[in-house]
């Protein structure tokens, strides 16, 4: 009988699901790392929330472990890389707490607009500070959303119920989806200048880190209220404090911080500042929902091999897995490539299947491609949630299949239509194609150019004009910066035309080197990609 360790608090109803399905459970909450390492070899499944941290050492000791289930969304406490190498499936429950988090954001807006915590403290201290607090109404004000996905759209719905206007900045929000939601799609600078309240609902990624920087906070409307119930690290906390102290920012309410647990933070003594200890998902309903979901998912996997909401493997049957796995890996890497070179959002995705792969079950392959595509901007996206996120964003997805492939036994091509914006006036299609050779994914086409190469863990991608001496100059620049070249793959349209270089390198180049490279006259685009 499979045995499951419940290492964080879980509802009795969820435990009952395991028992009803015939699984044995043991609950041990608050284990130290050494204690967890000692007992983990006895278990087939592990259930965690955020307190238990199955790191590489724990997973290395888990000789029988088959699955880790996170009752919630974030998996920062789980070493997914180590779990994958060990063959341990990692699952989460991505949709169980969206309503709860949206409600918390609305509550924080009201608390900030009416200075409720400070008024409460003064009243209970016996001061009766009636004249000290003059609030502002939220009705008919403009709410600026940074992110309008699963949670942001629910915040928008509730804000419009308060007669607020909603202006949303989200590169992945289409005009059609914005109309459906009843929000106005805007650029970031437009939103910053117009919003009376700004609420963040994006994951922490390289593209969203410090999105409310000092410069962007300076672009906001005087008297703005800032709310963050998403992730820490999205706001320059020092700049936010300065804005509160000067009175330029009227109030701020944060549920998340750059460093957690936030037992100390410079914002804590700032005027008109409200803090809660990461309570976005802390309701009985949300905790029950994610607990029940994780119990069902782990039971399904241990009893039948069914994979749901996995972050590190495709959702496929045992019979399909041997043939599908190489192509899901290829699709994920192609999608991730496209996602890393697409900064301005996109309106359409086309996935083409040629040859033998066209006759396989393409659903998990497409899901893997979309997960790779969305992950650079959306953060924790898995193969189950990715299609839903794409649909929710209103982005068109088209799949085509051709039984014959002119060159390869099987080929997958991904086309992404990038959106025209102020910073990306041309927009247009980005095209990548790949195949599987000897079980390994390979790139065979970039922007319509034939180019065979590897997905090196760290890859320098350069789009340049084909001129004599460029390759030598690029190699010399990397050499001078002590960056070792592992592989070098080239493609071009024609002599003197557009060219692509994919350079596998052993270490990440400095930002200064990338800037120098990007500033070269022949270079159209340069970026470091990570696979």
Residue of higher predicted confidence among 324 and 421:
324
**Which residues sit opposite 252 in a β-bridge?**
226, 273
Q: Which range (162-176, 186-200, 306-320, 328-342) has the least confidence?
A: 306-320
Of 70, 104, 278, 362, catalytic: 278
Residue 212 confidence (pLDDT)? 98
For residue 112, give both structure tokens.
């900030």
181 pLDDT above the threshold of 80: yes
Average pLDDT over residues 499-512: 93
**Catalytic residue (choose from 157, 176, 187, 260):** 260
Domains 1-94+283-313 and 456-531 share a fold: no
Q: Give burial (CB, 10 Å; 0-12/13-18/19+) of 334.
A: buried
So what's the pLDDT on residue 193? 98
Give the pLDDT mean for 330-344: 93
Q: Beta strand pairing status for 224-228 and 249-254?
A: parallel
pTM: 0.76
Distance in angstroms (rounded) separating the CA atoms of residues 64 and 66: 6
Band (432; pLDDT cuts 50, 70, 90): very high
Long-range CB contact pairs, 21-28, < 8 A, 24+: 21/299, 21/303, 22/303, 23/298, 23/299, 23/302, 23/303
Average pLDDT, the chain: 93
Residue 322: pLDDT band (50, 70, 90) is confident
What architecture (CATH level 2) is domain 1-94+283-313? 3-Layer(aba) Sandwich (3.40)
For residue 24, what are the contacts with CB-CB under 8 A and spacing of at least 6? Answer: 1, 2, 3, 4, 18
- Catalytic-residue membership of 278: yes
Told to judge if 260 belongs to the known catalytic residues of this protein, a careful annotator would answer yes
Query: What was the pLDDT predicted at 205?
Result: 87
pLDDT average, residue stretch 333-360: 93
Any bridge partners for residue 3, and if so which?
24
Class of domain 98-275: alpha beta
* Closest listed residue to residue 467, CA positions, set 498, 489, 445: 498
Burial of 443 (0-12, 13-18, 19+ CB in 10 A): buried
Q: Of the CATH numbers 3.40.190.10, 3.30.70.260, 3.40.640.10, 3.40.47.10, which one belongs to the domain with range 456-531? A: 3.30.70.260
3-state secondary structure 416-437: EEECCCCCCCCCEEEEEEEEEE
Every domain of the chain and the residues it spans = 1-94+283-313, 98-275, 314-455, 456-531
pLDDT tens per residue, range 390-408: 888 899 999 999 999 889 9
Tell me which of 307 and 109 has the higher pLDDT: 109
Kindly tell me if the per-residue pLDDT of 318 is higher than 60.
no
Confidence of residue 314 (pLDDT cuts 50, 70, 90): low
Q: Is the pLDDT of residue 84 over 90?
A: no
Catalytic residue among 104, 154, 231, 375: 231
CATH 1.10.3720.10 fits 314-455, yes or no: no
Average pLDDT over residues 50-66: 95
Q: Tell me if residue 177 is catalytic.
A: no
Element of type H or E holding 253: strand 249-254
Place 315 in a pLDDT band, splitting at 50, 70 and 90: low
Q: What is the pLDDT of residue 384?
A: 60
For the cut 90, the answer to whether the pLDDT of residue 164 exceeds it is: yes
Q: Residue 96 pLDDT more than 90?
A: no
Percent of the chain with pLDDT over 90: 76
């Amino acid at each position: 009988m499979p045995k499951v360790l419940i290492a964080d608090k879980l509802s009795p109803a969820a435990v009952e699901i395991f028992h009803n399905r015939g699984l044995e459970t043991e609950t041990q909450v608050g284990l130290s790392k050494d204690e967890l390492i000692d007992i983990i070899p006895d278990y087939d499944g592990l259930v965690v929330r955020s307190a238990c941290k199955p790191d590489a050492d724990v997973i290395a000791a888990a000789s029988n472990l088959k699955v880790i289930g996170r009752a919630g969304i974030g998996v920062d406490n789980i070493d997914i890389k180590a779990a994958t190498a060990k063959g341990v499936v990692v699952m989460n429950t991505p949709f169980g707490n969206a309503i709860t988090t949206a409600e918390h954001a609305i509550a924080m807006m009201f608390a900030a607009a009416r200075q409720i915590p400070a008024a409460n403290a003064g009243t209970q201290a016996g001061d009766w500070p009636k004249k000290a607090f003059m609030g502002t109404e939220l009705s008919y004000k403009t709410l600026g959303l940074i992110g309008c996905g699963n949670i942001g759209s629910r915040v928008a719905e509730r804000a419009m119920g308060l007669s607020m206007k909603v202006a949303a900045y989200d590169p992945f929000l289409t005009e059609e989806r914005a109309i459906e939601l009843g929000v106005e799609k805007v650029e970031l600078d437009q939103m910053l200048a117009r919003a009376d309240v700004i609420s963040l609902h994006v994951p922490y990624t390289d593209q969203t880190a410090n999105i409310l920087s000092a410069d962007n906070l300076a672009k906001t409307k005087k008297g703005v209220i800032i709310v963050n119930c998403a992730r820490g690290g999205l706001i320059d906390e020092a700049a936010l404090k300065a804005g509160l102290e000067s009175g330029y920012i009227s109030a701020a309410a944060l549920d998340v911080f750059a460093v957690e647990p936030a037992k100390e933070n410079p914002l804590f003594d700032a005027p008109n500042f409200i803090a809660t200890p990461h309570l976005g998902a802390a309701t009985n309903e949300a905790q029950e929902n994610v607990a029940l979901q994780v119990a069902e998912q782990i039971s399904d996997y241990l009893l039948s091999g069914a994979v749901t909401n996995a972050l590190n493997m495709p959702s496929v049957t045992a019979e399909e897995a041997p043939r599908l796995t190489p192509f899901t890996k290829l699709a994920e890497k192609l999608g991730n490539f496209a996602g890393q070179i697409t900064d301005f959002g996109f309106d359409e995705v086309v996935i083409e299947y040629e040859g033998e792969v066209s006759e396989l079950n393409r659903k998990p392959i497409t899901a893997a491609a979309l997960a790779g595509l969305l992950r650079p901007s959306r953060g924790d996206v898995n193969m189950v949630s990715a299609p839903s996120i794409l649909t929710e964003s209103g982005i068109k997805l088209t799949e085509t299949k051709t039984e014959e492939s002119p060159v390869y036994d099987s080929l997958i091509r991904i086309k992404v239509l990038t959106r025209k914006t102020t910073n990306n006036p041309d927009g247009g299609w980005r095209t990548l194609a790949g195949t599987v050779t000897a079980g390994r994914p390979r790139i065979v086409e970039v922007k319509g150019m034939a180019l065979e190469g590897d997905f090196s863990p760290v890859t320098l991608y350069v789009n340049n004009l084909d001129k004599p001496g460029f390759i030598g100059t690029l190699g010399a620049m990397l050499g001078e910066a002590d960056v070792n070249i592992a592989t070098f793959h080239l493609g071009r349209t024609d002599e003197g035309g557009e060219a692509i270089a994919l350079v596998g390198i052993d270490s990440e180049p400095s930002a200064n080197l990338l800037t120098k490279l990007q500033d070269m006259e022949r270079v159209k685009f340069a970026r470091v990609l990570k696979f």
